Structure 1
Amino acid sequence: MVRERQQAKVMEAIQNYELPSGQGLNQETSLKRASDTRWGSHYGTLVSLINMLSFVIEVLEMIVDDDVSLDQSGEADVLLNLLQSFDFVSSLFFMKEILAITNVLSHALQKEDLYIVSAMALVKACKQQLQVMMDNGWDAWLDKVSCFCGKHDIDIPDMNDILVARGRSRRRVQKLTNLHHYRVDLFIDVIDKQLQELNNRFNETSTKLLLCVAYLSPYDSFSAFDIEKLG
């Protein structure tokens, strides 16, 4: 149903001259199932969901209105409420941004012919990009999320308002602004944990040991060996 809705929208846009037509253009995409063992697949899943969210919402609305099955209709209604929330969209874009940074490293580490020196360079670049995102990426990320929500008629909370916590008594919850919740508790905290995880897995000692193994490889008569690189 999602593919049918997508095809109909594309054909309508082409007929109205809103999209160019030609070989290799407007190819069909589909929702991608994430793999439990390959994290790169999660990135593809998030990208496809962002691109096709409007079609997914339309199909869920059709299921709700159809009333063929009360169970399906109720489940679709719950999913609609979740998909059309700022919490979901912000998390969707946030995880997509993080995985976009770590995706290249993830693919490199899964290769059978892994080249250690290149992998360590990717680890360093990944850490640097995450740090830049944490220090300077908030405004750009919020703009992307807000723009997407605006296009899909999803309510955007006022960042200066007090956060309304779901399912908990307001009297027992510390009063925090939406800005603090999304910027500190979500954006900064998750990126910081990602950096900590990379630092723990690839600390200075383990990195030097891996590089030493690479430089002492007999391949090409030890041409990669350079004592200065080992510090």
Structure 2
Amino acid sequence: MEVAYRIHLTAILDVNRFLLKQGLPFRGNDESSNSLNKGNFLELLDWYSLRNEEVWKKVNQNAPGNNQLTSPKIQKELANACATEITRVIVDDIGDNYFSLMVDEARDASIKQQMGVVLRYVNKNGHVIERFLALVHVPDTSAISLKNAIDCLFTKHKLSLSRLRGQGYDGASNIRGEFNGLKALILKENPYARYVHCFAHQL
């Protein structure tokens, strides 16, 4: 039973990882059993199981009804587990090195403000690396709200603001004044976090 569950879970994780790596949506409009297109997750799992007899014996119709591991809730939990593991690897790669912070904000489909956070650093092999760290919902785009969100994110991942050596923001948003205050708050706490204007938005 344990071996069967492991095979089943591994197949589900393989499908999750593929969709996450490709940035593809999981859900379909009609995920019923007689649907011609049940969405990427279920269709890819079917395709995978048809090409691997061992997997076919353990997933879909052959798995117990209460242990399908295909519900939207399970999909989200596994995607979050993958995200947590990837974030841990990024933070471990940074280690005690200096890094820079890049932030942009936007509204999602539900009109909620969100802030995208990217870290830039030099890895142990001397290569400049940029990694997306998180998408954080913020109550508003005031400097204090953005700074609090960054502080919470850094605390969560055990990153120190004292190791920050650069900060860069969307030039268009900067004109609206949203990031001017954030820049000042970070410089007040760490004068070495030099500000670099986003030239892509200046052209």
Bigger radius of gyration among the two: 1
TM tier, shorter chain? 0.3 to 0.5
- TM-score of the aligned structures, taking structure 1 as reference length: 0.30
Bigger helix share: 1
Bigger strand share: 2
- TM-score of the aligned structures, taking structure 2 as reference length: 0.33
